[in-house]
């Protein structure tokens, strides 16, 4: 017998689907329910490698952590990794299967994946008491409904009740709720059980008349009003939507342990991927992280990070166009700290042979590190462990580039020259001892009297964050009604709201 299920949809992208899904998962697991997350199709440049070597969206990996289970490829069977505005790499069950344009994907390939997606969901539902599914964008994208496999397409085939989340902080939430339902077909509307308001500020009693009117208009209730809380976002999905200059990662509010803060500038390169690598830095008291896109913004930085990217050659050209390439070379020559991660590591090398990603052939790198990179058709997906700076380190690798290191000091799988460091390992800074040792070196090189906090545990902070999400659901949603939805499906006899989907 299949376990219970729920699809968390949204009125828009960034309505809070990922956060609500993680919160519902953490609430359920604290009730003793064996639960798993699921997202049929994810478009994201932030990804993760599972123990079996499968690539999935980082949001689903974090949701698995909320469930206190090991993430697997079943939880995100289709991952799309944008390579620009026109095409994406398609990752199926954790492995890349090719590049497709948006027209090619929606023109037929997507619908052919429905069977695979439904099989994965059925396997999870056969193993867990409940599976909490996350939709993508809005379920009312009427131009995409015919080939949809992530919103109402999966809900209809798996008979999942649907909870629609709306971000009231943006405004227009009542119209968004009503319009979302009214643009669905009668068959799809029958599965939309109700609504969840996200990011509400103020007195809920002032909102209640509107919720009553919404119920009268749609015949559907609101299952909760979640208050606005800072710092609750789990790993973001879409690196393309990260704003550039001036963006500051959510930083720990505790004062620095030493006399100085440490300022980290992250180059906001095109197709930036796994920028969540810097979250562990932002979690340290006294470390301030911001994204930059101009050379003058590197001047007062104590550490510059070049993150991963799905377009290494394009990012290299962007750095040159912006004048950042010269600024980075000057920093390296002055022995001021620079860290390159994955694509950022490749950019710092001597040259790149790329007949896979950009198909540009040989391209000169910044020449800061003694590294030569050749892009191979086969993607490397591993979970390495090792030692650096006298500390144990764990990470994960996601890249086509194969690096030949010809000099410098060994550093993880890469190298170090002076105060310039490079590695393919994502997630290494989440290893607490290594992160502290690295920051001590950075502070010494930068002449800062910064001292890493001796007791910051990134894993514990993540757990606290997930518990806060669970608390939000437990305290501000009708959990009894939510459980009835998960266990029994959408209520019978929900009214049709015209006009419905176009024929």
Catalytic residues: 342, 426
Mark residue 430 as left, alpha or beta (left: phi above 0; alpha: psi -120 to 50; beta: remaining).
Answer: alpha
Q: How does 159-183 read in b/e, with b if 16+ C-beta sit within 10 Å?
A: ebbbbbbbbbeeeebbebbbebbbb
Largest CA distance in the chain: 71
Task: Determine what percent of the chain falls in helix, strand and coil, rounding each to the nearest 5.
Answer: 35, 30, 35
Contact present, 304 and 337 (Cβ < 8 Å):
yes
Contact present, 73 and 112 (Cβ < 8 Å):
no
Tell which residue, 375, 364, 371, has the closest CA to residue 420: 371
Cα–Cα distance for residue pair 469/235, rounded to 1 Å: 13
Cα–Cα distance for residue pair 53/501, rounded to 1 Å: 41
According to DSSP, residue 75 is labeled G
Contact present, 331 and 298 (Cβ < 8 Å):
yes
Q: How many residues does the chain have?
A: 503
Tell which residue, 219, 331, 224, 223, has the closest CA to residue 267: 331
What separation in angstroms does the CA of 320 have from each of 47, 123, 313, 325, 367? 27, 48, 11, 5, 13
């Amino acid at each position: 017998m299949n376990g219970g299920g729920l699809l968390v949809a949204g009125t828009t992208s960034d309505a809070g689907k990922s956060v609500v899904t993680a919160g519902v998962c953490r609430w359920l697991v604290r009730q003793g329910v064996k639960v798993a997350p699921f997202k049929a199709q994810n478009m994201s440049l932030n990804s993760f490698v599972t123990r079996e070597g499968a690539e999935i969206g980082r949001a689903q990996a974090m949701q698995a952590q909320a469930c206190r289970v090991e993430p697997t490829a079943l939880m995100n069977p289709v991952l799309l990794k944008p390579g620009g505005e026109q095409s994406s790499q398609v990752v199926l069950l954790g492995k890349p299967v090719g590049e497709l344009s948006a027209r090619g994907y929606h023109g037929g390939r997507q619908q052919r994946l429905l069977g695979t997606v439904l099989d994965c969901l059925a396997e999870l539902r056969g193993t867990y008491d409940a599976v909490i599914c996350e939709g993508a964008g809005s379920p009312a994208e009427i131009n995409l409904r015919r080939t949809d496999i992530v919103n109402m397409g999966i809900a209809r085939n798996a008979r999942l009740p649907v909870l629609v989340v709306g971000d009231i902080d943006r405004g227009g939430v009542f119209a968004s709720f009503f319009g979302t339902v009214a643009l669905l077909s009668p068959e799809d509307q029958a599965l939309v059980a109700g609504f969840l308001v996200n990011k509400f500020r103020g007195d809920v009693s002032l909102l209640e008349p509107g919720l009553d009117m919404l119920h009268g208009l749609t015949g559907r209730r609101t299952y909760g009003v979640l208050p606005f809380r800072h710092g609750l976002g789990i790993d973001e999905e879409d690196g393309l939507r990260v704003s550039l200059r001036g963006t500051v990662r959510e930083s720990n509010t505790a004062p620095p342990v030493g006399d100085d803060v440490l300022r980290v500038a992250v180059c906001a390169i095109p197709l930036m991927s796994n920028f969540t690598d810097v979250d562990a830095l932002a979690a340290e008291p006294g470390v301030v992280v911001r994204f930059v896109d101009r050379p003058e913004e590197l001047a007062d930085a104590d550490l510059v990070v070049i993150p991963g990217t799905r377009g290494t050659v394009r990012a290299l050209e962007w750095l040159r166009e912006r004048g950042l390439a010269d600024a980075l070379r000057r920093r390296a020559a002055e022995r001021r700290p620079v860290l390159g991660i994955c694509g950022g590591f490749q950019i710092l090398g001597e040259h790149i042979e790329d007949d896979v990603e950009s198909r540009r052939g040989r391209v000169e790198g910044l020449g800061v590190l003694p590294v030569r990179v050749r892009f191979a058709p086969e993607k490397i997906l591993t979970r390495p462990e090792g030692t650096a700076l006298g500390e144990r380190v764990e990470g994960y690798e996601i890249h086509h580039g194969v690096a030949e290191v010809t000099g410098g000091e060994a550093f993880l799988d890469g190298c170090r020259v002076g105060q310039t460091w490079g590695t393919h390992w994502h997630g290494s800074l989440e290893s607490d001892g290594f992160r502290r040792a690295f920051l001590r070196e950075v502070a010494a090189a930068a002449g800062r009297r910064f001292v890493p906090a001796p007791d910051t545990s990134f894993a514990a902070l993540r757990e606290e964050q997930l518990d806060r999400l669970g608390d939000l659901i437990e305290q501000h949603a009708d959990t009894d009604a939510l459980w009835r939805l998960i266990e029994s499906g959408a209520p019978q006899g929900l009214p049709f709201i015209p006009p419905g989907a176009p024929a």
